Structure 1
């Protein structure tokens, strides 16, 4: 891993509990000892599916829910590959009890804004949390960054690694750190990290691999943010938002092309 300067600024990470967020927390802490983690409660699957159905229809929404369930329980069969990825990049998903943690009900709650106003962090990093509403973003005075497991703008949204493989575009398998605006991964790109997935990787391990490979650019982007040195990239590429594949699409691509 790249060695970064240890800084005294306060950086806040807004996450939902999980292995991948903890990997990033542990990667950021050495560079920013004053790191504070805010954890929001996950949104209920019921609300998620209702919102998705309004946008895509109930058939697609329920098909995507089935894939999400399979992905959640399928991870227990890929623990060895996940361990290999963490060892390859020298990362840990162990919860660090020395890092201050604050619980909030939602990323868009008034309590979050009060916490940030009191702490006055130099930067806020989002990872695996709800999208911030426009009014929430407008009330935050520091730079707001997000890590996206996909290459923007081609693979915005969900399962960017999976879709890059389906599109026969593995050269754009990787992760993006970007500024946050009111759109879905549409903020200005700061850094990107590309990596080739192993033949043993599947939808169960793609996000972990993308995250593990990208911890260096996450820390670099935070350093740029706290020092006022953000330099967004100009990327000329088609922009598209993706979603979870419905279960029938996932099974078909797995059976016919070996992409799971």
Structure 2
């Protein structure tokens, strides 16, 4: 039987993926990468993006928790029913916690399990020495159409840019770049009147998971097909600031 490993952070999207894949396959090992402390995370982000942009992003996070979170629970439940998404927690006995995905400990664990396939979800960028620690392929679901909407919140930024035909989701092999691996599947997603920034990813994952287990089987049997992406344009996107979100909300009508 094929050995599947999952490397992830915990959250609804990871639960969706784990529970969906487990319907057809046995995931032998789930490595949960501990999140950095908020202080370390903010320090790195400020160095990369600048202080004022990070302050704007923090203000947007607070805004989304206070205002955008109203009434989204019922919409998320509707999406879960529509796509049969299971948000149950991963069984604790399956989980091993690790401090860093790019550590010797991670490399040793991969070699011990000797997986045939590694599923990634919500992790930091994986360095080349980890990717080369095994002959197994790494696959990921990215909530955006690559390569134009790499980074985060691909559906939101596509809507913001009036790219309605590029609001979607990508299943791809993982390489050392940022969401730059070969494309296994892309699907365009149509958002509804009741969707907003907090529901887009649930909708995107629902669409991606429809064919995900078939893709896993094709990779395990080495019969997968690499697809041409829907766009060749390339960009990396970050979190919106409160100002950019409010501009998009008022002028572009993007929620």
**TM-score, normalised by the number of residues in structure 1:** 0.90
Match of 2:16 in 1: 23
For structure 2, the residue ranges without an aligned partner over 5 or more in a row are none
Q: Does the 8 Å contact 2:156/2:200 carry over to 1?
A: yes
For structure 1, the residue ranges without an aligned partner over 5 or more in a row are 1-7
Question: Could you give the per-residue CA deviations for residues 7-37 of structure 1, whole angstroms, max 9, x where no partner exists?
Answer: x311111111111110111100011124432
* Equivalent residue for 2:91, pick from 97, 102, 108: 97
d(CA) in 1 for partners of 2:26, 2:140? 20
Decide whether aligned partners of structure 1 residues 71 and 13 sit closer, same or farther in structure 2, where only a CA change above 3 A counts: farther
Match of 2:48 in 1: 55
Which structure 1 residue ranges, 4+ long, deviate > 6 Å from structure 2? none
SS at match of 1:153: coil
* Equivalent residue for 2:197, pick from 203, 206, 228: 203
* Equivalent residue for 1:255, pick from 242, 250, 253: 250
Corresponding pairs, count: 253
Match of 1:239 in 2: 234
> Are positions 1:138 and 2:139 aligned together?
no
d(CA) in 2 for partners of 1:43, 1:71? 22
d(CA) in 1 for partners of 2:237, 2:211? 23
Alignment of 1:153-192 (within 5 A): 153-192=147-186
d(CA) in 1 for partners of 2:64, 2:38? 14
Aligned-residue offset at 1:56 = 2.3
* Equivalent residue for 1:127, pick from 104, 121, 125: 121
Question: Could you give the per-residue CA deviations for residues 181-220 of structure 1, whole angstroms, max 9, x where no partner exists?
Answer: 1111111111112210112111111111111111133323
User: Which is further off, 107-116 or 163-172?
Assistant: 107-116
Decide whether aligned partners of structure 1 residues 162 and 34 sit closer, same or farther in structure 2, where only a CA change above 3 A counts: closer
Aligned-residue offset at 1:99 = 6.6
**TM-score, normalised by the number of residues in structure 2:** 0.92
d(CA) in 1 for partners of 2:92, 2:36? 27
